[in-house]
Amino acid sequence: MASERAPALHEFLPTATLLRLLGVLLLVLLPHLPRLPLWESGLVAAVLVWRALAARRSWRMPPTWLKALLTIAAFIGVQASYGRVSGQNAGVALLVIMLALKLTEMKARRDVMVMVFMLYFLLFTHFLFSQELWTAAFLIACAVAITGLLIEAHHPGSALPPRISLRLGGAMVAQALPLMVLFFVLFPRVPGPLWGLPSDSGAARSGLSDSLSPGDISSLIQSDEVAFRVRFDGEVPPMRQRYWRGPVFNQFDGRRWEAGYQIASRPQPVTLRGPALDYEVVLEAHRMPWLFALDLPDPRALPADARLNGLQQLLAAKVVRERMSYRLRSHVEYTLQPELSEGWRRTTLQLPPDSNPRTRDMAQRWAAETPDAAALVERLLRHFRTQEFFYTLTPPELGRHTADEFLFDTRRGFCEHYASSFVVFMRAAGIPARVVTGYQGGEPNVYGDYYVVRQSDAHAWAEVWMPARGWVRVDPTAAVAPERIERGMQEQLRGNVGIGELMAGGLSWTRLKYQLEARWEWINAQWNGLVLGYGQELQQDFLRRLGLIDVRSMILALVVGVSLLLGLIGVWELRKALPASAREPALRRWRRLQARLQRLGHVPAPGEGPRDFIQRVIAARPDWRAELEPALQAYLRLRYAGEDDPALLRTLSAVRLPRR
């Protein structure tokens, strides 16, 4: 009976290599761990710790039945957590846990090779969640570590010192970077992705939702993520006019606002007045179909793949899964839908039956005492200003009758509390009204010519319909916290410290923190524009400046560039492969002196050292002593004593001998 083949010596896995593999695996997994279910993160950590202890204490690997059971349990766990085992989130979770379970059967160097290639693949999955500059830098560092591990896996015998494997891995990655840049610049871009991404692809972002309930927007204030960046062509409207229109809500169920059926209707008649504002928006991926526009966008100057719906909300042709740029023209003065149809009136007066009875009673009494809608709006705003209402980031929980509890009991809320209760009150008084969400404000970047609108600038306000005036924006928050509208949310979060005060000095730590954040934001904006935004149009514009006007010339330039780079790298590697001594200046000069002596009939014997050779030559030609002895001493000092004196090199080169 044939016995099993014994593993070759080079197949055994040193403990040091295994521990370094575990360290590299942990490094690559770190950004994914917070995204994984708690049970999976715990299981991955337990497997890593067990494998390290098993290597230290020479434990046996688990039996096949246990590994099979763990694999089946992993599939079931991912299916239970995500409802699927494919797609972005579930697929990455499954890949991570399978990679961890691979450690339970790893015994030899060939297993390290499998892990290394899986680590390279796992590295790419990070770009599904983030494409920021720090992500690219982190992944390059991870690539160096993985490549060092790959080099170590090919080294027979004991493990290499970490500094050597990392140095070699860094050298290989550095050699690949020019090729990467060349392919990035010259490889033809095609519109859209090269393959169909899973339905849950794209980084999950916090942002506005397709519905609104108390507490939704106040939770966004804690997020410092960028929602979009804006660059105005000319004059910038003041802060109080920078309302960025987003989802609009008509339908109310007593607690939650939704768009309702009007979302699919055509845009309503609008008359635009005042100066036009032209600007460009760079919108971050938020995985929703809407775009944001300065209230109100010009229907005649919309992007090609965008439209306005019946709520005058700007919508993209598809869900925004990638960062996108679009240009718009807006007017801050307008008359929207001056005539209201009966269907629109019913929709914008809708309230759930038997909800918020105290608000209904108060609204009906005030409506009977007030001559028109404008007067009623002003009376309610004055009520907010003069009574004890508070604007707070931590409002109390509301129950079934949200407007009643807010207006009569808690009187503490954020913008969505004021906007929602205001619209409920107006509808109860017989005045059409609706809730509008979006962003308000935007802060300039002191290092660039653009404005940054963050998730913390999310806002909700109301629109009230008045005869002949159409839909009029009313912001109840401005009645309670006017500084929020006049100076912006970012300034409120800094404790009412404006940019002018920050840049003028006096607040050293706050100023330094702001400057660092603004500089980092500017760097990210450049990264987004030049790298992440390098699509088909930008590539064509850039290459046209270089004289590459068609795909054929681009491919030719790519082939020539890659060939030249590979040739340079090859020459560099061949030069490094030469014996070290052949590159030493002292040895080159000594060999030239030997060649001259050979031409004069003095040939060194095999194995004859420099001293013996020169002494034999001097014995035959005593008249050359004055030239050859100083040259010999200079060479010995340079070559063997390790001296580095240019005068010695000159002495070695200055030997004068007859031509024959």
State the CB neighbour count (10 A cutoff) for residue 154.
Answer: 11
C-alpha–C-alpha distance, residues 513 and 36, integer Å: 32
168 near 151, Cβ under 8 Å?
Answer: yes
Q: How far is the C-alpha of 94 from the C-alpha of 82, rounded, in Å?
A: 10
First to last CA, the chain: 79
How far apart (Å, rounded) are the C-alpha atoms in residues 450 and 476?
A: 29
DSSP assignment, residue 489? H
pLDDT of residue 195: 45
pLDDT more than 70, % of the chain: 86
Is 37:73 a contact under the CB 8 Å cutoff? Answer: no
Question: Is pLDDT above 60 for 262?
Answer: no
Three-state SS at 600 = coil
Would you say residue 580 has pLDDT above 90?
no
Q: By three-state DSSP, how is residue 245 classified? A: strand
Question: Which residues form the catalytic set?
Answer: 415, 459, 475
CA 441 remoteness from chain centre: 24
Q: For residues 357-375, b (16+ Cβ closer than 10 Å) or e, as one string?
A: eebbebbeebbeebeebbe
Least confident of 13-27, 526-540, 587-601: 526-540
Of the pLDDT bands very low, low, confident and very high (cuts 50, 70, 90), residue 362 is very high
- The pLDDT tens digits for 32-70 are 988 899 999 999 999 999 988 988 888 888 888 898 998
Nearest to 532 by CA among 316, 328, 322: 322
Q: Kindly report whether the global pTM for this prediction surpasses the value 0.75.
A: no
What pLDDT score was predicted for residue 645?
80
Q: Helix or strand or coil: residue 243?
A: strand
For the chain, percent helix, then strand, then coil, each to nearest 5? 55, 15, 35
- For the chain, the average pLDDT equals 83
Angle in degrees, 0-180, between the axes of helices 15-29 and 88-101, rounded to the nearest 10: 170
DSSP secondary structure string for all residues of 312-340: --EEESS---S-EEEEEEE-SEEEE-SS-
Which pLDDT score, from 0 to 100, does residue 154 have?
80
In angstroms, rounded to a whole number, what is the distance separating the alpha carbons of residues 103 and 111? 9
Sheet of 443-444: strand order equals: 324-330, 277-283, 226-232, 451-454, 443-444
- Integer Cα distance of 396 and 402 in angstroms: 11
Contact in structure between 271 and 280 (CB atoms under 8 Å): no
- Other Cβ atoms closer than 10 A to 109: 20
Q: pLDDT for 207-231, tens place per residue?
A: 688 888 877 776 766 677 888 999 9
Four-point Cα dihedral 127, 130, 136, 138, nearest 10: -100
Q: What is the reported pLDDT for 429?
A: 94
**227 close to 189: Cβ distance less than 8 angstroms:** no
**How many Cα neighbours within 13 Å face the side chain of 164?**
6
What strands, in cross-sheet order, belong to the sheet with 211-212?
Answer: 211-212, 257-258, 251-252
Q: Which residues, in sequence order, are CB contacts of 657 under 8 Å at separation 6+?
A: 596, 597, 600, 624, 627
